[in-house]
């Protein structure tokens, strides 16, 4: 009788598991007014900072050439990185090849120096 599993009918379905955590209250008019006031102040600040930037027209006219130059610099960077990685690969493969050659010669030396063991059959 201990192994009987009786379903609990008081458990609510998981369909509405997060419904109670949502804040469904409306904001008060005072809070909406303060938020709109802060938004307005922030927008005025951004417009003022934009106004302080000198030579805006010249910057906007030179934008395509600036993109072109930066794209060419990016291509040069990748070509230089390719050359750097190629040089690193050359050095690493040379060192590994040297280690492998030394190991091969050492093994040949050990094999040629080894005295042949005679197998004795009984």
Same domain, 67 and 106: yes
5 within some domain: no
- Number of compact structural domains in the chain: 2
Residue 119 included in any domain: no
Same domain for 69 and 30:
no
H helix and E strand count, the chain: 3, 0
pLDDT at 16: 61
Same domain, residue pair 45 and 67: no
If asked whether residues 77 and 105 sit together in one domain, one would say: yes
| Segment 69-98, tens digit of pLDDT | 999 999 999 889 999 999 999 999 999 999
Summarize pLDDT for 18-74 with one digit per residue, the tens: 666 656 678 888 889 999 999 999 999 999 999 999 998 999 899 999 999 999 999
Position 10 in a domain: no
pLDDT digits (tens, 9 = 90+) for 3-21: 667 666 666 566 666 666 6
Coil, helix or strand for 27?
A: coil
Q: Provide the residue range defining the domain that includes 48.
A: 25-54
Residue 11 forms part of a structural domain: no
- Scored b (16 or more CB within 10 A) or e, 9-23 reads eeeeeeeeeeeeeee
Using a cut of 0.85, tell me whether the model's pTM lies above it: no
Round to whole Å and give the CA distance between 28 and 6: 48
């Amino acid at each position: 009788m201990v192994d009987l599993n009786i379903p609990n009918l008081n458990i609510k379905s998981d369909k509405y598991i997060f419904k109670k955590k949502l804040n469904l209250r409306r904001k008060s008019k005072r809070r909406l007014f303060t938020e709109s006031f802060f938004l307005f102040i922030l927008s005025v600040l951004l417009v003022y900072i934009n106004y302080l930037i000198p030579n805006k027209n010249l910057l906007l006219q030179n934008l395509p050439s600036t993109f072109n130059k930066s794209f060419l610099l990016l291509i040069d960077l990748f070509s230089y990185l390719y050359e750097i990685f190629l040089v690193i690969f050359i050095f690493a493969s040379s060192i590994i090849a040297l280690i492998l050659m030394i190991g091969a010669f050492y093994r040949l030396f050990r094999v040629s120096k080894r005295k042949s063991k005679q197998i004795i059959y009984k």
